[in-house]
Chain A
Amino acid sequence: MTQIIVVTSGKGGVGKTTSSAAIATGLALKGHKTVVVDFDIGLRNLDLIMGCERRVVYDFVNVINGEANLNQALIKDKRCPNLFILPASQTRDKDALTKEGVGRVLDDLAKDFEFIICDSPAGIETGAMMALYFADIAIVTTNPEVSSVRDSDRILGMLQSKSKRAEESLEPVKEFLLLTRYSPSRVTTGEMLSVEDVEEILAIPLIGVIPESQAVLKASNSGVPVIMDQESDAGKAYSDSVDRLLGEELPLRFITEEKKGFLKRIFGS
């Protein structure tokens, strides 16, 4: 059975696209045929982070409008044979996404793929609603700060009332919390909420904590999903999250402050 996973948040800039790219790549690396779909019509970010922006010919909206077929629009990842990207259009407006159109494309993808990852735009407008409507699983991407937590709570409400599963009274969407841009030192100083705080407020199972990391920026700039950088803390944390998504139980890493060595203390890091 194909699983449709929406990576969502309400708030912008929390790491949805970074996480979509990492999780899709991680699932594909584990041998699962995966496609990642960019729902952020008009912005087009995912293809940059996946490093395939120069290979975009047709996009999601072209497929919905019947101007291209899926095979023409899907981009095969160069690094990972099980991974495909369905890019967003940069030029069209968000209203191009209709329930029927999106449903049709997802149905078609489900014939071929084990996992469909939907990278949601920010907000609670049409684009975000379309991205979550068909989901079986939601990865609620949240930063450890009050406004992001509040928006995530809002999105959880939408998942409970506005998703297809809710409307048709099916088994509810499985919700997971992915805490991103986590900075243990800023938790200690009280500038940020702790893992426990966020878990307490949102009350959904935690699937991973991704530390604030230089590696993410480096990865996006070079167009390689950060999960490919297995030397980095963020890369490892995303791998753990993918394993947990697949049912493994792993302890959390990178949630306590790193003790700085003597030299680092003197010279900085």
Chain B
Amino acid sequence: MQTPSLELKGSSFTLSVLHINSIDLEKVAKELDSKLAIAPQFFIGAPLVVNLSSISDSSYNLAALKDLLTSRQLVIVGITAAINTLSEQAKTLGLAIIKSGKQAQSQPQLPKTTKLVKQNVRSGQQIYAKNGDLVVIGTVGNGAEVIADGSIHIYGTLRGKAMAGASGDKHAVIIAKTMEAELVSIAGQYWLTDNIQANSTTKSGCIRLDGESLTIESLPL
């Protein structure tokens, strides 16, 4: 017997959903660009579903929106919660119409792991610890980026960008032996160099979220 060259299997994926809340494309473009400037790695190349529940204008130009997103290297796989005319447009654009399942169908929680990096992270390099903490034994240079869904520990100097709680964990922290970061962010709340300097008096630092705002305290190192 021949082995079939096709096989259809069910499988579920988690997709990020981009909610479009304004019909003003220029406004959307501007806000998107500023988001991308801060954290391109959250979006670029990742499959996105566009939620159009706020768009009730049946003459809305979906093709233009798609072009806008594609030109920023976002990969749009489909739309959801759209009015009928927009769903029709989506079909002609080759986009899938996706019905969101109930949140209850949530993914089984993966155990948290740790990613250990035992060298300096250089300008232009990017390291992402998915579903876990990131420990860097070394320095993170200006222009380098370290990202973790959990916490980030740097046994060296943090000069580049560090983004902890990248998928929303508000309990994540960023710890560095010497804190000279260009940017730190936890669950989307961020500080630039000036904010860090204004809030800290010591070399070392532990940054965490206190409610909706970041705080820094020194470490007894």
The 8 Å CB contact of B143, one of A154, A160, A161, is A154
User: Within A234-251, which residues are at the interface with B (CB < 8 Å)?
Assistant: none
Question: In whole angstroms, how far apart are the Cα atoms of A150 and B122 in the complex?
Answer: 9
Across the interface, A150 reaches (CB within 8 A) one of B120, B125, B142, namely B142
> Closest A-chain residue to B122, C-beta based?
A157
Say yes or no: is B151 at the interface (Cβ < 8 Å to chain A).
Answer: no
The yes or no answer to B22 lying at the interface (CB within 8 A) is: no
How far does the alpha carbon of A157 sit from the alpha carbon of B144 in the complex, in Å? Answer: 9
Question: In chain B between 105 and 133, which residues have their CB closer than 8 angstroms to a CB of chain A?
Answer: 119-125
The answer to the question of B139 belonging to the interface, with a C-beta cut-off of 8 Å to chain A, is yes
Interface flag for B78 (CB, 8 Å): no
Asked if A217 CB lies within 8 Å of chain B CBs, one says no
Contact across chains for B119 and A160 when beta carbons are under 8 A apart: yes
Contacts of A158 in B (CB 8 A): 124
B141 within 8 A of A: yes
Q: Chain B: interface residue count, which band? A: 10 to 19
* Whole-angstrom distance between the Cβ of A111 and the nearest chain B Cβ: 34
> Would you call A43 an interface residue if the criterion is a C-beta within 8 Å of the partner chain's C-beta atoms?
no
Whether B120 contacts A154 by the Cβ 8 Å rule is no
Chain B interface mostly: loop
Residues of B within 8 A of A156 (CB): 120, 122
CB closest chain-B residue, reference A124: B124
Interface SS of A by simple majority: helix
Inside 8 A of A161's CB, which chain B residues have their CB?
Answer: 125
Per a CB cutoff under 8 Å, which of B123, B139, B143, B144 touches A203?
Answer: B139
In the assembled complex, A263 has its CB within 8 A of some CB on chain B: no
Task: Knowing A201-B141, A203-B139 are in contact, say whether A153-B119 is a contact too (CB < 8 A).
Answer: no
CB pair A160–B122 under 8 Å, yes or no, is yes
The chain B residue with its CB closest to the CB of A200 is B157
Which B residues, 142 to 181, have Cβ-Cβ distances below 8 Å to chain A?
Answer: 142-144, 159
Closest-CB distance, A77 to chain B (whole angstroms): 35
A201-B141, A203-B139 given; A154·B124 CB < 8 A: yes
Contact A154 B123 (CB under 8 A): yes
Separation of A153 and B159 alpha carbons in the complex (Å): 12
Interface-centre pick from B119, B123, B139, B142 (highest chain A CB count, 10 A): B123
Contact of B142 among A124, A153, A203 (CB under 8 A): A153
- Report how far A192 CA is from B143 CA in the complex, Å: 20
Nearest to A155 among chain B residues (CB) is: B122
0/1 interface trace, chain A 130-142, chain B, CB 8 Å (1 if under):
0000000000000
B143 touches A150 (CB 8 A): yes
Which A-chain residue is minimally distant from B156 (CB atoms)?
A: A203
Nearest A-chain residue to B124, judged by Cβ: A154
A141-178, CB < 8 A from B: 150-151, 153-154, 156-158, 160-161
When distances are taken between beta carbons in the complex, the residues of chain B under 8 Å from A150 are 123, 141-143
A156 to B142, CA, bound (A): 13
- Asked if B124 and A157 make an inter-chain contact with CB atoms under 8 angstroms apart, the answer reads yes
B72 CB, nearest partner CB in chain A, Å: 23
Whole-angstrom distance between the alpha carbons of A182 and B122 in the complex? Answer: 23
| Chain A residue at minimum C-beta to C-beta distance from B119 | A160
Which A residue's beta carbon lies closest to that of B126? A157
Closest A residue by C-beta to B160:
A153
CB distance from B165 to the nearest CB of A (A): 25
Name the B residues within 8 Å of A151 (CB-CB). Answer: 123
Q: Is the CB of B124 within 8 A of A203?
A: no
The complex places the Cα of A203 from the Cα of B118 at a distance, in Å, of 13
Q: Decide: A157 and B125 in contact? CB cutoff 8 A.
A: yes
* Subset of 16 A-B contacts with CB under 8 Å: A150-B123, A150-B143, A151-B123, A153-B122, A153-B143, A154-B123, A156-B120, A157-B121, A157-B123, A157-B125, A157-B141, A158-B124, A161-B125, A203-B120, A203-B138, A203-B139
Q: Which residues of A contact B (CB under 8 A)?
A: 124, 150-151, 153-154, 156-158, 160-161, 201, 203
- List 19 additional A-B contacts (Cβ < 8 Å) besides A150-B142, A154-B143, A201-B159: A153-B122, A153-B124, A153-B143, A153-B144, A154-B122, A154-B123, A156-B122, A157-B121, A157-B122, A157-B124, A157-B141, A158-B124, A160-B122, A160-B125, A161-B125, A201-B139, A201-B141, A203-B120, A203-B138
